[in-house]
Amino acid sequence: MSSESEHRPLVAILSGAGISTDSGIPDYRGPQGLWRQDPEAEKLVTYDSYMADPEIRRRSWLMRRDSETLAARPNGAHEAVARLERSGVPVRVITQNVDGLHQLAGLPARKVLELHGTARTVQCTVCDARSDMATALERVASGEPDPSCAECGGILKSATVMFGQALDPEVLTDAVAVARACEVFLAVGTSLQVQPAASLAGMAAEGGARLVIVNAEPTPYDELADEVVREPIGTALPALLDRIAAGG
């Protein structure tokens, strides 16, 4: 077998909220998204407001307690990505989501770059100690409205990137490297309007990658794309990835 026939292209997948809506997690920025319906809710995930106001923190913990995220299960789109990876195709996922569903679907954690962090972990804003979100929520349920760090007593927050916080520079650097190295770049369920994540699609296209956009609404990068898919992600993505796995 020749080396040419053995070659499997590196596939990068940038996933946004749209890939998880079939799992019951709302799209915060979409037409019916939480941020559009209740602008006040943004304060609950804005770093300065969260750190300055104990009442905002109490409301934020209640929001996490009631969130569908931790109870959500991977859907067919997440499973299709994991299936592609198991087929032997080199896959890297760059996700704007904080739900951890790619990993729950079976994709190795080392192949997932979480640009906006994870809602499954909490971190201390003082000593940076990390622990399980479920444990913190148990403390809230037992009567602690604003649980503090068990290590140093500092303010705890979800290990997500809040409004007003910068992305982790190491994660972003790795994401840029993947975008520049890949041969196929799929933007799935993302509006491609939030920077710097959106710019990864442009970087991939400029580097010669085949750019495929799977999203219900138009994006600013549609004109750069080799293929734009408007079909529902739950059916369109598995079909697309099975085609890639077959060498198409």
Instruction: Based on the residue annotation, tell me whether 78 is a catalytic residue of this protein.
Output: no
Measured between alpha carbons, how far is 192 from 187 in angstroms, rounded to an integer? 8
Of all helices (H) and strands (E), which one includes residue 83? Answer: helix 76-86
Q: Is the dihedral of CA 30, 99, 96, 221 positive or negative?
A: negative
**Among the options 7, 78, 102, 116, which is catalytic?**
116
Q: What is the CA radius of gyration of the chain?
A: 19
- Buried b / exposed e over 136-171, threshold 16 CB at 10 Å, is bbebbeeeeebbebeeeebebbbbbbbeebebbeeb
Question: Left, alpha or beta for 202 (phi > 0: left; psi -120 to 50: alpha)?
Answer: alpha
- 3-state SS string for 160-199: ECCECCCCCHHHHHHHHHHHHHCCEEEEECCCCCCCCCCH
| Helix (H/G/I), strand (E/B), else coil: 66 | helix
| Helix (H/G/I), strand (E/B), else coil: 133 | helix
**Which active-site residues does the annotation give?**
116
